[in-house]
């Protein structure tokens, strides 16, 4: 209890800018390393010189996004509640929520593993695999599904630690697993190692994820963080309602991101654009995620500050933190976008061999760089609303980018513009999302002012 009282003061008293930067540094490192090792599978499979195998990694990425969506649903849902409960000094409910979110995600992950193995081939086709990519997709997907239980639980632990202000412990767990993945990839994949090909990339991923899971679980017993105990698990409707409130925006965002990729892959197959385009768009997706990882980490540093201070009724600190994050993220994203636009061919050539694939990926990357600086407002406002428990606006912004705009656009633009329509879809969706994100969040800020007066 003394440790949690100290943590309360540490989250509500120091200057907001300094506190966000302190919490953001380990989050940024975690996100950068995680994005880097997400690209490692693509890179080392690409070393084999077969863009078809690289395309399979991009196809299975949609399934990994679904697994991540489940983890973020329980992790963000329980984490946002925990941060507000700690801000209100309601420690008993925080303990119950931590255990409920963790064990629920573990169970759902086991169900995903079982059903995925039973329906492996139909799932591979559903994800957008072509006949030529299918053998590689099957090998990679089968292994990834084995790790679904501890992968979902890892995302829960990572989020719960962050929302408690224990980002350093989360960073150790995530970074250690990521570094191990990068070490294992060439050993598992390449001919001079175990020569397992694309299946080796899957084994490297799930082994490293298990190590992360173990370290994150240990981190929950350190530094005043909430210990995960089975006796604290509560099968109560109210806890799942709170998880739903806090986790729905993340679930919507992650699931729609996966669905958007599935639609993209299926459009490429239906339009007979070829495996080179599938591989190209998968590579662009990984590069874009890496470019946005620092901004996402910065936002993750803001979330516990937002949750704690909103729970404590310190609304001015929440607003001040938001505007600070907007300024920094927009400047950083603008610099990254400029570099990505100039060096697009060089970046995509690290992962692709065929000239057609490189040309497609470079064009798509340049399109995304044009709207890249807008991500700061979209993501920060979404994170703030989610941390405050504002389910409706947070969920709308979560579904807008990939659901309301990307999916309809990717199903229509390629019919009129062909491959160019595929390349420009994401940038168009991002621009439309910003038009809605700005007025929605300004309204949320206005209602906060009214709450504070009351």
Q: How far apart are CA 307 and CA 311, in angstroms?
A: 6
Neighbour tally for 397: CB within 10 Å: 26
382 contacts: CB under 8 Å, gap ≥ 6: 249, 253, 394, 397, 398, 437
Element holding 398 (H helix, E strand): helix 391-399
Instruction: Determine whether 6 is exposed, middle or buried from the number of CB atoms within 10 Å of its CB (0-12, 13-18, 19+).
Output: exposed
190 contacts: CB under 8 Å, gap ≥ 6: 44, 47, 48
165 contacts: CB under 8 Å, gap ≥ 6: 7, 10, 11, 23, 304, 308
Q: How far apart are CA 96 and CA 88, in angstroms?
A: 15
Instruction: Confirm if 39 and 286 have CB atoms less than 8 A apart.
Output: yes
CA distances from 277 to 7, 49, 57, 268, 341 (A): 50, 16, 13, 7, 19
Helix axes 237-270, 391-399, angle to 10 degrees: 10
> Residue 51: its pLDDT value, please?
67
> Residue 113: its pLDDT value, please?
95
Instruction: Confirm if 152 and 106 have CB atoms less than 8 A apart.
Output: yes
pLDDT in tens, the chain (454 residues): 567 677 778 888 888 898 998 888 887 887 777 777 667 777 787 777 666 777 788 788 878 888 988 998 999 889 889 888 887 888 889 999 999 999 999 999 999 999 999 999 999 888 878 788 888 889 999 999 999 999 999 989 988 988 887 778 888 888 888 889 889 989 998 888 888 888 898 899 999 999 999 999 998 888 778 889 999 999 899 999 999 888 887 787 777 877 888 888 888 888 878 778 888 888 888 888 888 888 888 888 888 888 888 888 888 898 999 999 999 999 999 999 999 999 999 988 888 888 888 999 999 999 999 999 988 899 899 888 888 878 788 888 878 888 889 889 999 998 888 889 888 998 999 999 999 999 988 888 888 777 666 6
> Residue 181: its pLDDT value, please?
87
CA distances from 403 to 68, 390, 400 (A): 17, 19, 5
Nearest to 216 by CA among 37, 75, 39: 75
> Residue 295: its pLDDT value, please?
86
Q: How far apart are CA 173 and CA 219, in angstroms?
A: 8
- Residue 273 is given by DSSP the state -
């Amino acid at each position: 209890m003394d440790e949690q009282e100290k943590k309360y003061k540490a989250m509500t008293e120091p200057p907001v800018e300094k506190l966000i930067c302190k919490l953001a540094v380990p989050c940024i490192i975690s996100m950068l390393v995680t994005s880097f090792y997400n690209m490692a599978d693509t890179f080392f499979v690409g070393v084999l010189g077969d863009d078809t195998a690289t395309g399979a990694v991009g196809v299975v990425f949609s399934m990994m996004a679904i697994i991540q969506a489940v983890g973020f649903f329980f992790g963000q849902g329980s984490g946002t509640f925990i941060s507000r409960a700690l801000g209100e000094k309601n420690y008993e409910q925080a303990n119950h929520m931590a255990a409920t979110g963790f064990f629920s995600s573990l169970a759902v992950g086991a169900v995903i593993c079982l059903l995925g193995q039973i329906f492996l081939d139909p799932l591979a086709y559903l994800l957008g695999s072509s006949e030529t990519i299918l053998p590689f997709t099957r090998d990679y997907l089968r292994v990834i599904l084995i790790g679904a239980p501890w992968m979902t639980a890892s995302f829960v632990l990572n989020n719960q630690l962050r929302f408690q202000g224990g980002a350093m412990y989360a960073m150790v767990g995530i970074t250690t697993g990521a570094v191990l993945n990068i070490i294992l990839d060439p050993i598992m994949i390449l001919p001079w190692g175990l020569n397992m090909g694309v299946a080796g990339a899957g084994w490297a991923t799930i082994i490293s994820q298990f190590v992360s899971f173990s370290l994150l679980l240990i981190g929950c017993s350190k530094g005043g963080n909430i210990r995960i105990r089975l006796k604290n698990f509560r099968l109560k409707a109210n806890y799942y309602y709170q998880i739903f409130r806090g986790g729905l925006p993340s679930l919507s965002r992650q699931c729609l991101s996966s669905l958007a990729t599935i639609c993209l892959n299926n459009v490429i197959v239906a339009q007979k654009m070829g495996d080179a385009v599938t591989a190209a768009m998968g590579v662009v997706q990984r590069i874009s995620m890496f470019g946005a990882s620092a901004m996402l980490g910065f936002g993750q540093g803001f979330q516990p500050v937002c949750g704690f201070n909103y729970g404590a009724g310190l609304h001015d600190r929440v607003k001040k933190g938001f505007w600070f994050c907007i300024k920094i993220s927009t400047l950083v994203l603008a610099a990254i976008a400029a570099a990505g636009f100039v060096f697009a061919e060089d970046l995509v050539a690290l992962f692709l061999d065929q000239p057609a694939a490189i040309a497609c990926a470079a064009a798509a990357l340049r399109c995304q760089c044009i709207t890249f600086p807008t991500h700061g407002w979209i993501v920060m406002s979404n994170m703030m609303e989610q941390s405050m428990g504002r389910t409706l606006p947070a969920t709308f912004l979560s579904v807008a980018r990939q659901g309301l705009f990307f999916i309809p656009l990717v199903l229509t633009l390629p019919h009129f513009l062909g491959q160019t329509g595929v390349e420009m879809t994401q940038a168009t969706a991002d621009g439309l999302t910003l038009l809605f994100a700005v007025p929605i969040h300004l309204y949320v800020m206005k209602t906060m002012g009214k709450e504070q007066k009351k």
